[in-house]
Structure 1
Amino acid sequence: MVNTILFDFGDVFINKNNKAKQDALAALGVTQWNTALDNLEDHFERGAISEHDFLKGIQQYSNNASLNAIRDAWNAGIKDFPLKRLEFLQKLSHNYRLFLLSNTDTIHIEKFEDDAGPSFYGDFYRCFEKVYFSHEIGLRKPDYEAFRYVMNKHEIQPKRALVVDDKKQNTDAAAALGFQTWTLNPEKEDVTQLFKKKVLSLHEV
């Protein structure tokens, strides 16, 4: 029986639009996201480099865009957080141990908190026993160690825990460690359908 749920953040709770981000970056001259930029993003999401160094790294592929313009473009894909998802999570927190484990960076989190406001994001964070962002713990999914970090900190039994993520490589890694998983398709599914999709039984706990 599941008693613990590890949630992703982007496209699970907060909506994202990757095309909007790509278009915004392309308007600044960054038309191809190459291997070097992939590595740059990986380091930034692990907290291994500063926001300034990350933006400077992108700048060299742009048409001499300002760091502020690049920052805005990087955030262009961060969209809304429907209230119904927060309300669902608040109800869920009465019956399950909840954790947030997200690959993200300081720029995106600041954008979310600025847009949402202290009351909303405070209510959101309080739903979780603990919130883990990759840039704070230095670990990034789908690395097994990101999941093991949370498991070991909180004595979580994978067979009694569910991982909800929109990326298959992340749920595949979780499944390999013994977790139950739901690869949520944000185009067709919503996290509030957790029980309707029969991912969990209403009588799990």
Structure 2
Amino acid sequence: MIKTIIFDFGDVFLNLDKPATARELKKFEISRFSGEMLQQNMAYEKGLISSEAFISGYCKSFPKLTSEAFINSWNSILIDFPAHRLEFLQQLKKERKYKLILLSNTNHIHIDWVKQNIPFFEEFKNCFDAFYLSQEINLRKPDPEIYHFVLQQHDLNPEETLFIDDTRENTEAAAKLGIHTWNIDPVTQDVTQLFTIKSELF
């Protein structure tokens, strides 16, 4: 029986347009992410470099890019947060049947946008027993360390834990540790369907 539910943020609660950033950066003649850029992106998600250094690195590499243009391109992936998902989560909190944890790969620029554009962000955050953002804990999915961290922090039994994420490599990594998973499809599924789609776990 499930006692703890771990949720991803993007494309579980917050709608994303994942190709958007690459599409916007093409306007500045950035057609591909090099291996070095991808490493920088991951380091930024882990909070290992500051927003200022991250933005500056891109602007120095691509002279047509301004800080403002980069931030707008970087945030173009972020769309909206349907209120019915907050209501679903609030109901879960009210029922107190499960420990609720958020575990998200994100970064300071994205979270700043969320705080400015999602008026109920604090209400959302307060629904969770723990709220883990990759840049704050210096860990990111799908590295096994991040799952071990959450399991150990809360003394969780993997067999009593469900992890919901839209990225298959993230759910596969969690499953290897014995955690139940739902690799949610944001196109055809909604987190509010949890108890229908994963009914066998509850």
Normalising by the residue count of structure 2, what TM-score does the alignment of the two structures yield?
0.95
Quick one: distance in 1 between partners of 2:27 and 2:62? 9
Quick one: distance in 1 between partners of 2:80 and 2:105? 18
Match of 1:106 in 2: 108
- The verdict on how the C-alpha distance between 1:29 and 1:60 changes in structure 2, with shifts beyond 3 A counting, is farther
Quick one: distance in 2 between partners of 1:141 and 1:192? 23
Q: Percent identity?
A: 40
Cα RMSD over matched residues? 1.3
Quick one: distance in 1 between partners of 2:106 and 2:112? 11
Quick one: distance in 2 between partners of 1:128 and 1:77? 24
Given that 1:7 and 1:165 are in contact with CA atoms closer than 8 Å, whether structure 2 keeps it comes out as yes
Match of 1:40 in 2: 40
Quick one: distance in 2 between partners of 1:150 and 1:5? 11
Aligned pair count?
A: 200
Report 1:99-178 matches (<5 A). 99-117=101-119, 120-178=120-178
Quick one: distance in 1 between partners of 2:187 and 2:100? 24
Quick one: distance in 2 between partners of 1:21 and 1:200? 36
Q: Deviations over 1:53-104 (max 9, x none)?
A: 1112222443421112101110011000000100011112222110000000
Normalising by the residue count of structure 1, what TM-score does the alignment of the two structures yield?
0.94
Quick one: distance in 1 between partners of 2:136 and 2:102? 13
Match of 2:79 in 1: 79
Given that 2:58 and 2:65 are in contact with CA atoms closer than 8 Å, whether structure 1 keeps it comes out as no
Given that 1:29 and 1:61 are in contact with CA atoms closer than 8 Å, whether structure 2 keeps it comes out as no
One-letter code aligned to 1:78: L
One-letter code aligned to 2:42: D
Q: Deviations over 1:83-135 (max 9, x none)?
A: 01000111122221100000000000010110012xx1111001100100000
